[in-house]
């Protein structure tokens, strides 16, 4: 068992919520797991939020992170999309708070800048860099890569590891 700090990164979304778990120790970060939570598209909106909430609680129980990092809300061109993203974030924040974990929020632009080197990076660039930084055998799904990126930023900001 490592004495490092375990960080859960979350990329919230009402259709797909990404998560990534890393462990920082010394100057290194180690990939633990990543994935996506996909509620059934045929489910009601409230049922999708309920599914995200319970799946995040399961991820937290399984991996027992010490801290959580989440992307902060950005404003989409479509007000309905912004509202739905905010509701998915709220459900994620509720799960983290209920688990009693410290939560840290980072802007999407800062996450991209930290991992790729500029704030206008594409999802493909974030996928590539998270795979490279964490020495993954394969590129993670877009939303999982975004979650890993927010976890990496948190680790770097708090000097849990360098990337």
Are 110 and 104 a contacting pair, CB within 8 Å? no
Q: What are phi and psi of 45, to 5 degrees?
A: -60, -45
- Angstrom distance (rounded) from CA 111 to CA 72: 10
- Residue 51 CB contacts under 8 Å (≥ 6 apart), including other chains: 37, 39, 40, 43
- Angstrom distance (rounded) from CA 56 to CA 37: 8
- Of 150, 152, 145, 109, the closest CA to residue 124 belongs to 145
* Tokens describing residue 38: 């996909």
- Does residue 162 have an active-site annotation? no
Catalytic residue chosen out of the listed positions 23, 67, 71, 146: 71
- Does residue 71 have an active-site annotation? yes
Catalytic residue chosen out of the listed positions 105, 143, 146, 162: 143
Tell me the three state secondary structure of residue 154.
Answer: helix
Catalytic residue chosen out of the listed positions 11, 23, 67, 146: 11
* Tokens describing residue 13: 């979304």
Q: Which residues are catalytic?
A: 11, 71, 143
């Amino acid at each position: 068992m490592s004495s490092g700090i375990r960080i859960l990164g979350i990329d919230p979304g009402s259709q797909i919520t990404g998560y990534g778990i890393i462990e920082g120790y010394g100057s290194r970060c180690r990939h633990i797991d990543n994935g996506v939570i996909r509620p059934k598209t045929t489910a009601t909106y409230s049922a999708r939020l309920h599914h995200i909430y319970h799946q995040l609680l399961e991820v937290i129980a399984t991996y027992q992170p010490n801290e959580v990092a989440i992307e902060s809300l950005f404003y989409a061109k479509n007000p309905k999309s912004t509202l739905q993203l905010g509701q998915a974030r709220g459900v994620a924040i509720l799960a983290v708070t209920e688990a009693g974990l410290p939560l840290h929020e980072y802007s999407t632009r800062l996450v991209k800048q930290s991992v790729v080197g500029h704030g206008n990076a594409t999802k493909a660039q974030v996928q590539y860099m998270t795979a490279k930084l964490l020495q993954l055998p394969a590129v993670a799904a877009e939303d999982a890569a975004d979650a890993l990126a927010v976890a990496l930023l948190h680790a770097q900001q708090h000097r849990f590891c360098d990337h």
